[in-house]
Structure 1
Amino acid sequence: MVKRLRALRNVALPGTHRKLVPGLLTAAGLVTVAFAGHLLVPGVPVLTLCVVLGAVAGNSLRAAPKFRLAPGMGWGGKHLMRAGIVLLGFQLALADVLDLGWKGVGLIALVVAGSFGGTYLVARALKLPGDQPVLLASGFSICGASAIGAMSQARGSARDAPVPVALVTLCGTLAIAVLPLANTWLNLNELDFGRWVGASVHDVGQVVATAQGAGFTALAAAVVVKLVRVLMLAPISVLGSISARRRQAAATDGSMPGAGERPPLVPIFVLGFMACVLLRSTGWMPDSVLHAAKTGQEILLGVALVGLGFAIDLRHLFSTAGRALAAAIGSWAVVAALGLGFVALMA
């Protein structure tokens, strides 16, 4: 109890809060720039720009200003990521999921599972360090940088998140141009192209940017399939947390009961995410509230992703660029192939 009171007292110190202000204000400014950039180039999603701007800032500043900004950037990347993921639940309604039918939902679940497993095996084979294989698998199989943030929070491995975030952002951005170009050869109709985009592109904004050029039918199909993938964020995060707890217990072998904080069995932000999904599904939420929640979610995730981008060491990334890019391209191929399989089985 004494330790907890001391911890609370330390958190309440004004100086502690002041250390966060420069980084959070800088991140908010970069998010504003990202929104402006998206208005100028609608094809590039806001969250993608947030990661890029954060990485540019983190790698161009001198040591002293970077040190001053780091506490706020790190705090935003952790805590605001959780809040943004909670609000992400307001984008999902169970009625939209059920419109696909049990066959569609089951096939999407299989695509997510196959994408996660395939991406994880590719990353492990190429010896990506630490928890990067799990985080990369989460990003490619579910919803890009948001899923990486959720999984890193569930597993307590935020230090390994920056490189997977950079890789999934790169491939998701390339998908906006590559998938429509590939469809000139595949010749999928609007509905099937939309389903392929929804099953194989990472971030929600990237899905919209990729599908909208093919028509309303493609866009609607892509968004519904993508939102079902996003729904898989909850069970995957819980499984990731359980795996981390078992790994930590095995590492300590029961001999160090107080060593480190074990990840919660079900992270609180996952419960909040599911609560928002259920609230949206009731139909009681006014459109104005849903619009405000969507805007708030984009801002919170934007600040968090600026923070994650700020932590990306481009020199380190380039030093391992061969393995990292090979893992990303291999993972992208796995997910795209499984997405085409989903389209074929839904026909």
Structure 2
Amino acid sequence: MAEADGQVKAKGGALALVPGILVSMAVGILAWVVGRIETQLFGHAWIEPLVLAILLGALIRLVWTPDGRFLSGINFCAKPVLEVAVALLGATVSAQALAAAGLPLLAGVVVFVVVAMIGGYLIGKAMGLPARMAILMAAGNAICGNSAIAAVAPVIRAEAKDVAAAIAFTAVMGVIVVLLLPALGVALSMSEQSFGVLAGLTVYAVPQVLAAAAPMGPVAVQVGAMIKLVRVLMLGPMCLVLGLLAPRLDGAPGEGAARRPPLRHLVPWFVVAFLVLLAARSVGWIGEDLAAPVSMVVKILTVLAMAALGLGVDPRGLVQAGPRVAAVSVLTIGLLIGVALVPALLLVRS
């Protein structure tokens, strides 16, 4: 009898998720449709479906506040679904390309990401942002924009409003950088290779790297894509480190040592899964024929999660956070470009 009651309760719990999941799916589908329309009109999506989903969700929240029937499903999409997407992301990234790139490139990008993370975090704290918000902004700028923010958010247990604000402002800065970076390359008379280094180190998403580097030539595109790949590969190790540091954000200094959480809480399951799948992809156990559909699943799940995050955010809170977050975005991208110009300008005459 007890087992039957448990099955009924589990079934009821699963059914309770359906309304919120359906609403999140509707917003996600709308974001995909708008993205496709952008592609048809302009050749590519200026605002990615991931960003559109969270913006559309927040706009809907302006005129409609989900009640209890929807909250459990929305929360399910915003957290467990996002965690699964982060885990599966490991199957889409291969470390094999690093062998061709060489150790100097790997070491240089690792140093760059660490400097950008620390510098971005310090800028955020100096501007008065909460610790988790400062980490989200730093991760988005240092690694891979919206994808990094989405991946880091569950690791550090960031609030939905902080995730929404970080993604919104990072998306805007990403488009601005893509449009203005080629002009900087021309003004500095940069070679294709040097500009590829600059684009790979500063532009957020892989498609944006290609868009920014294309005006400078095919070599710039190839170099930029390679460096961007190395930055993306830093996502797993960075999530692991942040997972270890996250408990310290929950109390005063030294408090975490007296109340040390279990290992499973220090290293979230989806970070471990990400690293395992990345290793499997790198040694060839996961081939390209499987990685491609998994990549599509990751995109779908991430858009669904971002739609749910948008639905769970009060846009008025975004407006209040706007000026400080915008300032942090501008200052951090300035830091990225300044640091990236050092290795890039060394290659101007190459």
Q: TM-score, normalised by structure 1?
A: 0.85
Alignment of 1:17 with 2:17, yes or no, is yes
Return the letter of the residue paired with 1:271. Answer: V
- 8 Å CA contact retained: 2:209, 2:224: yes
- 8 Å CA contact retained: 2:57, 2:311: yes
CA distance in 2 between counterparts of 1:317 and 1:65 reads: 16
Return the letter of the residue paired with 1:76. Answer: C
Alignment of 1:234 with 2:236, yes or no, is yes
CA distance in 1 between counterparts of 2:128 and 2:339 reads: 23
> Which has the higher mean CA deviation after the structures are superposed, 204-213 or 117-126?
204-213
Query: In 2 relative to 1, CA 261–65 (structure 1 residues): closer, same or farther, beyond 3 Å?
Result: farther
Alignment of 1:182 with 2:184, yes or no, is yes
Q: Could you tell me how far 1:118 is from its partner in structure 2? A: 1.1
Query: In 2 relative to 1, CA 110–302 (structure 1 residues): closer, same or farther, beyond 3 Å?
Result: same
Query: Which residue of structure 1 aligns with residue 51 of structure 2?
Result: 51
Query: Which residue of structure 2 aligns with residue 207 of structure 1?
Result: 209
Structure 2 residue runs of 5 or longer lacking an equivalent are none
Structure 1 residue runs of 5 or longer lacking an equivalent are none
Return the letter of the residue paired with 2:178. Answer: I
- 8 Å CA contact retained: 2:143, 2:232: yes
Return the letter of the residue paired with 1:17. Answer: L
Identity of matched residues, %: 23
CA distance in 2 between counterparts of 1:7 and 1:109 reads: 49
Query: Which residue of structure 1 aligns with residue 33 of structure 2?
Result: 33
CA distance in 2 between counterparts of 1:153 and 1:187 reads: 42
Q: Could you tell me how far 1:26 is from its partner in structure 2? A: 1.3
Q: TM-score, normalised by structure 2?
A: 0.85
Q: Could you tell me how far 1:329 is from its partner in structure 2? A: 0.1
CA distance in 1 between counterparts of 2:276 and 2:46 reads: 26
> Which has the higher mean CA deviation after the structures are superposed, 168-177 or 293-302?
293-302
Q: Could you tell me how far 1:149 is from its partner in structure 2? A: 1.9
CA distance in 2 between counterparts of 1:226 and 1:143 reads: 8
Query: In 2 relative to 1, CA 202–19 (structure 1 residues): closer, same or farther, beyond 3 Å?
Result: same
CA distance in 2 between counterparts of 1:282 and 1:255 reads: 38
Query: Which residue of structure 2 aligns with residue 137 of structure 1?
Result: 138
CA distance in 1 between counterparts of 2:8 and 2:267 reads: 24
Aligned positions of 1:242-257 closer than 5 A: 242-248=244-250, 250=252, 253=255
Return the letter of the residue paired with 1:208. Answer: L
Query: In 2 relative to 1, CA 306–34 (structure 1 residues): closer, same or farther, beyond 3 Å?
Result: farther
Aligned positions of 1:95-134 closer than 5 A: 95-134=96-135
- 8 Å CA contact retained: 2:53, 2:303: no
CA distance in 1 between counterparts of 2:226 and 2:71 reads: 37
- 8 Å CA contact retained: 1:51, 1:308: no
Aligned pairs, number: 342
- 8 Å CA contact retained: 2:61, 2:315: no
Q: Could you tell me how far 1:254 is from its partner in structure 2? A: 7.5
CA distance in 1 between counterparts of 2:311 and 2:43 reads: 23
CA distance in 2 between counterparts of 1:142 and 1:212 reads: 21
> Which has the higher mean CA deviation after the structures are superposed, 270-279 or 240-249?
240-249
Return the letter of the residue paired with 1:186. Answer: L
Q: Could you tell me how far 1:290 is from its partner in structure 2? A: 2.2
